[in-house]
Amino acid sequence: MFVTPLYASLLVLWFVVLSMRVVNIRRRGIMFGDNGEVAVTRVVRAHANFAEYVPLALLLMGFLEVSRFSIYILHALGLTLLIARLIHGGALSFGWQMRSGRVAGAALTFIVLLIEAFLCLYQGLRGQWAWWQ
């Protein structure tokens, strides 16, 4: 298994960047909540949203990889997830193309999750984990 750890590592690096943004905001004295500041809410939500969706996507990717699923499809899913989270986190935390980036990043994340879920479901129902090699 080497595809999932590759993308997990790259995603963790981005997660650390998002985490440090939250830490820097919290150092300003806003320990809980957002103190009514939209910028704080955006940074905190970018971090939390990543933590909510990425572990599930990586778990499903790991299931597919362990089942010896096509390496090309795994790379396509991993790269799409990485791009999606960079776009979403960048838009929300840093304000890059706020609306379009946030929507595109979220949509791509959901697409990856749905594809992974359906592929795992399909393989599970077929009872054959060496499909599309």
Q: pLDDT by residue (tens digit) across 14-46?
A: 999 999 998 888 887 766 766 667 777 888 889
- The answer to whether 130 and 68 have CB atoms below 8 angstroms apart is yes
**Domains along the chain with CATH numbers:** 3-126 (1.20.120.550)
CA distance 20 to 25: 9
Tell me the three state secondary structure of residue 118.
Answer: helix
Please, is 30 exposed, middle or buried when counting C-beta atoms within 10 Å of its C-beta (0-12, 13-18, 19+)?
middle
Residue type (1 letter), 98? M
Rounded mean pLDDT of 42-54? 93
Distance of CA 27 to the CA centre of its chain: 26
128 token code pair: 């054959």
Tell me the three state secondary structure of residue 31.
Answer: coil
Main-chain dihedrals φ then ψ at residue 22, nearest 5 degrees: -65, -45
CA trace torsion 8, 14, 16, 18 (10° rounding): -140
Q: pLDDT by residue (tens digit) across 88-131?
A: 999 988 876 677 888 999 999 999 999 999 999 988 887 755 54
